Amino acid sequence: MALQAGIVGLPNVGKSTLFNAVSNSAKAQASNYRFCTIEPNVGLVDVPDERLAKLAELVVPNRIVPTQMEIVDIAGLVKGASKGEGLGNKFLGNIREVDAIIHVIRCFEDENVLRDEGAINPVSDKEIIDTELQLKDLESVEKKMQRVEKMARVGTDVKAKAEFEILSRCKAHLETGKSIYSLGLSKEEKAAVADLFLLTDKPVLYVANVDEASMHTGNKFSEQLKAVAAAEGAEMIVMCNNIEAQIAEMEVEEDKLMFMEEYKMTEPALNRLIRSAYKLLNLDTYFTAGVQEVRAWTIHKGWKAPQAAGVIHTDFEKGFIKAEVIAYDDFVKYGSEAACRENGKLRIEGKEYIVKDGDVMHFRFNV
C-alpha cells in the first residue's frame, strides 16, 4: 500500500533536512538556496510502533518487519506558483500525487538562512502556500464548470446538474480563501470532483521548525501557527529539524540515546511526526505474529477481514474463509497465541468483520 505524504513549504524552511531525517532509504540534498530540490525525492519510512516490539518480545521471531509509508520531498513553493512562478506547475503537479501534506513552516530566526519573504511570519508563510493551492484548485473547478454547465442547464442530465451544484459550492468555498478539505464533502459528493485531484482536498499536518532553544517549549512563532492550526482543526508538531537530522545520522544506538538524554528527549520527535502522518492518512495497523516473523500490516480504517488479508497476498482475499483474531491487549496479557486460545480470547471472524487497529490475525483461505 504505497500511500504518500508530501513535505511542502517555502524555500529554505527545512523540508529537505526533515526528509533526510525521516527517510531510511534515501537522502535528499539540503542546501541554502532556492529550489535546491527540483525532482521530488521519495523515501520509505518505518512507522514506529511499540506494539510491534512488544509482540516480538513475546514471540521471539526470526525477524521483525515494521509497516512503512512513503515520504516525498517536494520542491519549495513561491508566491505566484499557481501562475507558473518558480517551479510553478511542476511543484503543484507533484502535490497532486500525494495523499496527505506535511507542511513545514519556519519558526526560527537565523540571518544565515536565506529568506525572501521578509521578517519571520509563520501565519503569512502558511497563507502563501494555502493561496497558491486554492488558486490552482479554483482554476480546475472553473474549467470543469464550463464543461458541465450547458448539460446542467438542459435539465435532462441529472448527473451534470448535481455535479454543477457541487462544483459551484467548491468554487464559492475556495473564493473565501478556504480549502476544499474543510468543506466536508460526502463520499458521494467527492466523486463529482475526484477527476480534478484537488490540491486542497488533502489532510494537512503542520510542522513548526524551531531552533534548539525552543524544541521542547515552542516559541512565539510556533504559538502563532498553533492558533491557526487549531482553528482549522489540524494537528501541529513542534520540532527542531536540525537536531532530528543529527540523531538520524547516528548509526550507534548508544550514541543516539546519549544525544537524546543530553537534550532531554525520550524519543526522536520524528517518531511523533511519522505516527501523526500515518494517522493523517486514515490508516490502521494489524499484526501477524509467528516464529518466522512478527509483522505490521497497513490497512485503511474500516476495512473488512478479506481486504486486510489481501494486503498480504491477493489469493488470501480471493479465497478467504475465516480470520483468527486476538486483540493486542489480550495477546500481551496472556503472552502467547496458545494461552489466548486456552482462555477463550481467540475469536473466529468472517467476511463482514471490520478489522480493528492492533488486531493480531491469522487467515484461513482456499484457492
Q: Tell me the pLDDT tens digit for each residue of 86-132.
A: 444 566 777 888 899 999 999 998 877 766 667 889 999 999 989 98
Kindly write down the DSSP assignment for every residue of 205-240, as one continuous string: EEEEE--GGGTTT--HHHHHHHHHHHHHT-EEEEE-
Mean pLDDT value of segment 224-233:
93
Enter the C-alpha cell of residue 252: 550507534
Rounded distance between C-alpha atoms, residue 297 and residue 288, angstroms: 8
What pLDDT shows up at residue 26? 44
Contact between residue 241 and residue 209 where contact means Cβ atoms under 8 Å apart? yes
Query: Which of the listed CATH numbers 3.10.20.30, 3.40.50.150, 3.40.50.10860, 2.130.10.30 matches domain 302-365?
Result: 3.10.20.30
Pick from 69-73, 255-259, 319-323: least confident = 69-73
Considering only residues 1 and 108, tell me which one the structure prediction assigns the higher pLDDT. Answer: 108
pLDDT score recorded for residue 44: 83
Q: Where are the domains of the chain?
A: 4-50+63-116+203-279, 129-200, 302-365
CATH architecture of 4-50+63-116+203-279: 3-Layer(aba) Sandwich (3.40)
String of DSSP letters for 264-313: T-SS-HHHHHHHHHHHHTTEEEEEEE-SSEEEEEEEETT-BHHHHHHHH-
Name the most confidently modeled range: 38-52, 54-68, 121-135: 54-68
Residue numbers in the known binding site are 12-17
Quickly state the pLDDT bin for 296 (edges 50, 70, 90). Answer: very high
What is the C-alpha to C-alpha distance for residues 109 and 128, in angstroms, rounded to an integer?
A: 19
Q: How far apart are the C-alpha atoms of 302 and 313, rounded to whole Å?
A: 19
Range name among 25-29, 46-50, 272-276, 328-332 with the lowest pLDDT average: 25-29
Q: Which pLDDT score, from 0 to 100, does residue 87 have?
A: 44
Mean pLDDT of 342-364: 97
CA triple 219-234-138, angle to 5 deg: 115
pLDDT of res. 35:
39
What pLDDT was estimated at residue 141? 95
Cβ atoms within 10 A of the Cβ of 358, count? Answer: 19
Question: Percent of the chain, pLDDT > 90?
Answer: 60
Of residues 2 and 98, the one with the higher pLDDT is 98
Query: What is the C-alpha separation between 363 and 299, in angstroms, rounded?
Result: 15
Residue 156 has a pLDDT of 67
The whole-number average pLDDT for the span 154-177 is 88
Say if CB 106 and CB 208 are below 8 A apart: no
Kindly state the average pLDDT of the residues 335-357. 97
The C-alpha atoms of residue 289 and residue 295 are separated, in whole angstroms, by: 6
The CATH number, out of the four listed (1.20.1050.10, 1.10.10.10, 1.40.20.10, 1.10.150.300), of the domain defined by the range 129-200 = 1.10.150.300
Average pLDDT of the residues in 41-51? 87
Cell of 367: 484457492
Q: Is the pLDDT of residue 285 over 70?
A: yes
For the chain, the average pLDDT equals 87
Secondary structure element (H or E) that encloses residue 352, with its range:
none
- The predicted structure's pLDDT at residue 144: 92
pTM for this one?
A: 0.84
pLDDT tier at 149 (50, 70, 90 boundaries)? confident
Cα 42–Cα 45–Cα 96 angle in degrees, nearest 5: 40
Which cell numbers in the block locate residue 344? 477463550
Known binding-site residue numbers for ATP: 12-17
Mean pLDDT, residues 229-240:
92
Q: What mean pLDDT do residues 263-270 have?
A: 92
The pLDDT of residue 117 is 67
**Residue 90 burial by Cβ neighbours in a 10 Å radius (0-12, 13-18, 19+):** middle
Q: Above 90 in pLDDT, residue 361? A: yes
Percent with pLDDT over 70 in the chain: 88
Whose grid coordinates read 446538474?
161
345: three-class secondary structure by DSSP: coil
Per-residue pLDDT, 88: 44
